Structure 1
Amino acid sequence: MITLKDVCFQYSADSTVKALRHIDLTIQDGECVVLTGESGCGKTTLTRCLNGLVPSFYEGELTGGLLLDEKNLLEMPQYEISRHVGTVFQDPRSQFFTVDSTDEVAFGCENLSMSTEKINQNIQKAFHNLRIEALKDCSLFALSSGERQKLAVAAIYAMDTPVLVLDEPSANLDLETMEVLRGILQELKREGKTIIVSEHRLSYLMGVADRYVYIQDGEIKQIWTPRQAEELSKAERKALGLRSFQSISLADIAKEGAPAEQGKRIEGRGLAVRLDKTEVFRGLTFNFQWGPAGKVVGITGNNGSGKTTFAKMLCGLLKPSEGALLFDGKPAAAKERLRQTYFVMQDTDYQLFTESVRHELELAERKNHRPCDMELILERMGLSQAAERHPLSLSGGQKQRVTIAAAMASGSDILVLDEPTSGLDGRNMQRLKETILALKKQGKLIFVVTHDMEFLDGIYDEVMSFAQKIR
């Protein structure tokens, strides 16, 4: 059993805001509790309290009581906590220690001093039960973000700890893999594991969660049973900044294609891309046309099917091994594609360079030397209060909004957003939808690489689907 009594925490790096305020919560053995709420509300901080990273790694002032099976968690050494609590972080890259997928799954087991026989048994069980046998013995550098997310779950699953803490585990997962994750969580519950999930995407947790804990400004505001959560009206969810509790597929939002507009054009003819010795896709042909009204193109498909590779190729970060890519009927070299496009990456930390949010936008503004309304962009993305904060001090969802705000400030006419709703709550997802539609009205072509059909609903004009998995 986990007990939190009047827990308060304030980061040393940001003494102006209390990350947690008077948290009282008891989690029973074998229970699945979902922590939800808007970006920056304190969900991740609460998970860090449970796994011992606050305050031993993330320094600050922590008060109150944290008990794990009646033992004071604050007095337990980190290695002892790790025997009881396994964690999947929001950014899986931050918990990888090897370069090989099988070694990575073995790493945690080795640190718990399991026997060789037990380690091999747990590795086999993890890859099999998560249906990721094809990811065995792969270089971590060759995996997509979604595949790395699966591997992070497998590594913690193999450690066989009684408590699992998962921070946004579905952030980069396709719908099929989310269903696999749901099945794994159900199996872990049957095994008696205690599960704490911090999430914005809530639909896959119906039938798994025992309680939903809604956090706002560092405080627990409401706790719902699954039935109470499901009965929340759309207006109530919108007011709370929550995502839908119902699963939405591409078929649910399908519509007739928009008529082609005459004007600008991007065309691909027989494109192929190889990464190392792996052919990601071949024979890719497309033709997207857009006029003054702009266009939004959804890029969908399973993890590892080539969506991000396509996005990088389109933006000039990768060269096709075969075929031709044309802008307005003329071959577009990598340098020209880089000039005309702006790419928002999945991994936001790769695109955050400066000392403040405002400086990030100013840096992006220099790309095309087009002045922008900085204050309007900050307001539209809900970042006005964070304008002077260091980007790396923000939550995952807030970082995501900073990179999208930078894309807006760049003034580029072709925007490519790779999983832009990763880490976004319902309110900020809706805010981003409105922003994309406003950018579209400016005559921009916007590619949205996503697994998030709730987000894509109502904004796309065309969809290109990468249906085939690599692995």
Structure 2
Amino acid sequence: MGAAGVRLDRVSFSYRGAPETVHDVSLSVEGGECVVLCGPSGGGKTTVIRLINGLAGGYYEGEARGRVEIGGTRHADLPAWKRAESVGSVFQDPASQFFSSQLAGEIAFSCENLGYDRDTVVSLTDGSIAAFGLDGLRGTPNDRLSSGQKQKVAIASAVAPRPLIVAMDEPSSNLDEEAAMALGRTVAQMKAEGYALVIAEHRIAYLEGVADRFHYVRDGRIERSFTPAQMEALPLEQRRALGLRSTSRAPRPALPRPLAGCGAQKGACALSLRGVSAAFGARRVLQDVSFSVSSGQIVALTGKNGAGKTTLARIVAGLSAPRGGTVEVGGARRTRRALRRLVWFSPNDVRAEFFSPSVQEEVMLLVDPADENRERARRVLEGLGLWDLRERYPSTLSGGQKQRLSIACGLVMRRPVLVLDEPTSGLDALSMEKLSASLRFAAQEGQAILVITHDNEFLGSCCTHCFELGE
């Protein structure tokens, strides 16, 4: 693999029917380099990734200016198959890039689509599965994988054809801490093998010792660039003002485990799980899970990717049926239909969540349009940094903004139980702090909040208890 990588020279881009999103961006990444795009949610990082892999101006219609070069050749002069062979892409939502229902078929697809012969496809597929430790998932349908497992499959698929450049959009967003650090080691190995790596990220601690440069992207521009030493030396207040996460691993805060029953807090007990079990066919996912969440508590649900956290959340929300056990809300056992009325579930994948033509209308969709609810909607949107976007179509928001909008809907509705699946996956540090403050306020109002998270910074900022699921 040569040293040729990717070069953007004064590139601007506007999506069709929208103002310019990226303005006069220039950057260069050679083979064997790792460059990180950081900065606030909605700042333009994803669009820069799309300019590199050719989706901006192709799949996403719009107008581009400036020059993009891949491997020393102008992007526009490369046929589509050559761009696909040269640039491996990992999207913010991994499931959106899946074509196959099975692991091996998904990873093989990128090689087959490039016309490689059978022996090459098998060799590259098996090598990528082994490199990412995915052999144990060969028999599991892709739609049964956890969000973190889907992320690893997407990365394995992107690098299977061994492209010159790998462009990743928040690849660690759904990974547990151990898996994120393993991804950091994988990125280091890819860098050593000569890949040019461009990674848009909020969680940057796993790239410690790997990243060569950090470009701070805000309002569609590269405002500043940092060496790793400069990034690490940033004072805490300046880091917070820029919305940057820590460059070092945050320790897991010592929080009490929630009780198996609310006991003396009778009347305040909002949610109780008693002996909940679940399975996919013959594969056991959950076994005899019992804990409770009282009104005013924010309980973090942690555990490795694939431990069953999202399955448990869907059971609590009435979206999936347990194989055994019961779910109680407000001290009474509830049917799945009743749970869907009492529990708000904000999923990690919010692509199909929104139905209204504006952010403001979306948060008011399921509540009475009384003045008090409109005022509450305004306060919630302001608290989550979405008020200035209230007239925007939800589909035009960034991934982190969509995540906050889904949570805003649950806060405005004031259901007794709020369940959030990886709510910080697309959030910068400032947005995370706003979310934490909003959840603390909701807890003070009496909502019981269950949060699936791998984010130790977020966990320490607002959670009152922590329950860890085992394998």
TM-score normalised according to structure 1 size: 0.94
For the 8 Å contact 1:368–1:410, the answer to whether it is kept is no
Deviations 1:164-190 (A, max 9, x none): 001110111111111111111111111
**Aligned residue among 452, 465, 469 for 1:466:** 469
Distance 1:162 1:121 in 2: 18
For the 8 Å contact 1:257–1:461, the answer to whether it is kept is no
Deviations 1:284-309 (A, max 9, x none): 1223334xxx1111100111111111
Q: Which residue of 2 aligns with 1:135?
A: 137
What amino acid is the match of 2:286?
Answer: F
Please give the secondary structure, in 1, of the residue aligned with 2:364.
helix
Matched, 1:288 2:293: yes
Distance 2:14 2:272 in 1: 52
Distance 1:368 1:285 in 2: 39
**Mapping for residues 136-175 of structure 1, pairs under 5 Å:** 136-175=138-177
Relative to structure 1, the CA distance from residue 247 to residue 363 in structure 2 (aligned partners, 3 Å threshold; closer, same or farther) is same
Q: Which residue of 1 aligns with 2:254?
A: 254
Q: Which residue of 1 aligns with 2:384?
A: 381
**Aligned residue among 262, 275, 279 for 1:274:** 279
Q: Which residue of 2 aligns with 1:59?
A: 61
What's the offset of the Cα at 1:453?
Answer: 1.1
What's the offset of the Cα at 1:324?
Answer: 2.4
For the 8 Å contact 1:269–1:284, the answer to whether it is kept is yes
Please give the secondary structure, in 1, of the residue aligned with 2:185.
helix
For the 8 Å contact 1:280–1:306, the answer to whether it is kept is yes
Q: Which residue of 2 aligns with 1:393?
A: 396
For the 8 Å contact 1:102–1:138, the answer to whether it is kept is no
Q: Which residue of 2 aligns with 1:335?
A: 337
For the 8 Å contact 2:31–2:196, the answer to whether it is kept is yes
Q: Which residue of 1 aligns with 2:47?
A: 45
**Aligned residue among 177, 182, 185 for 2:184:** 182
Deviations 1:197-218 (A, max 9, x none): 0101110011110000101101
Please give the secondary structure, in 2, of the residue aligned with 1:22.
strand
Matched, 1:30 2:35: no
Please give the secondary structure, in 1, of the residue aligned with 2:20.
coil
For the 8 Å contact 1:8–1:62, the answer to whether it is kept is yes
Please give the secondary structure, in 2, of the residue aligned with 1:431.
helix
For the 8 Å contact 1:370–1:411, the answer to whether it is kept is no
**Aligned residue among 414, 419, 427 for 1:411:** 414
Relative to structure 1, the CA distance from residue 328 to residue 365 in structure 2 (aligned partners, 3 Å threshold; closer, same or farther) is closer
Matched, 1:427 2:430: yes
**Mapping for residues 217-256 of structure 1, pairs under 5 Å:** 217-250=219-252, 253-256=253-256
Please give the secondary structure, in 2, of the residue aligned with 1:363.
coil
Percent of aligned pairs sharing the same letter: 35
Q: Which residue of 2 aligns with 1:8?
A: 12
Of 204-213 and 21-30, the range deviating more from structure 2: 21-30
What's the offset of the Cα at 1:329?
Answer: 3.6
Distance 2:358 2:62 in 1: 21
What's the offset of the Cα at 1:144?
Answer: 1.3
What amino acid is the match of 2:7?
Answer: T
Distance 1:9 1:37 in 2: 18
Q: Which residue of 2 aligns with 1:439?
A: 442
**Aligned residue among 356, 359, 362 for 1:357:** 359
Of 356-365 and 78-87, the range deviating more from structure 2: 356-365
What's the offset of the Cα at 1:13?
Answer: 3.2
Distance 1:41 1:283 in 2: 44
Of 160-169 and 455-464, the range deviating more from structure 2: 455-464
What's the offset of the Cα at 1:458?
Answer: 3.1
Structure 1, unaligned runs of 5 or more: none
**Aligned residue among 405, 415, 419 for 1:402:** 405
For the 8 Å contact 1:368–1:411, the answer to whether it is kept is no
What's the offset of the Cα at 1:160?
Answer: 0.7
Relative to structure 1, the CA distance from residue 322 to residue 386 in structure 2 (aligned partners, 3 Å threshold; closer, same or farther) is same
Distance 2:161 2:71 in 1: 19
Matched, 1:91 2:93: yes
Q: Which residue of 1 aligns with 2:209?
A: 207
Matched, 1:69 2:71: yes
**Mapping for residues 118-133 of structure 1, pairs under 5 Å:** 118-133=120-135
Please give the secondary structure, in 2, of the residue aligned with 1:159.
coil
For the 8 Å contact 1:90–1:167, the answer to whether it is kept is yes
Structure 2, unaligned runs of 5 or more: none
Distance 2:11 2:257 in 1: 52
Relative to structure 1, the CA distance from residue 287 to residue 394 in structure 2 (aligned partners, 3 Å threshold; closer, same or farther) is closer
What amino acid is the match of 1:397?
Answer: G
What's the offset of the Cα at 1:276?
Answer: 3.7
Distance 1:330 1:368 in 2: 30
Distance 1:256 1:75 in 2: 59
What's the offset of the Cα at 1:258?
Answer: 8.4
Distance 1:366 1:8 in 2: 43
What's the offset of the Cα at 1:369?
Answer: 12
Distance 2:280 2:36 in 1: 38
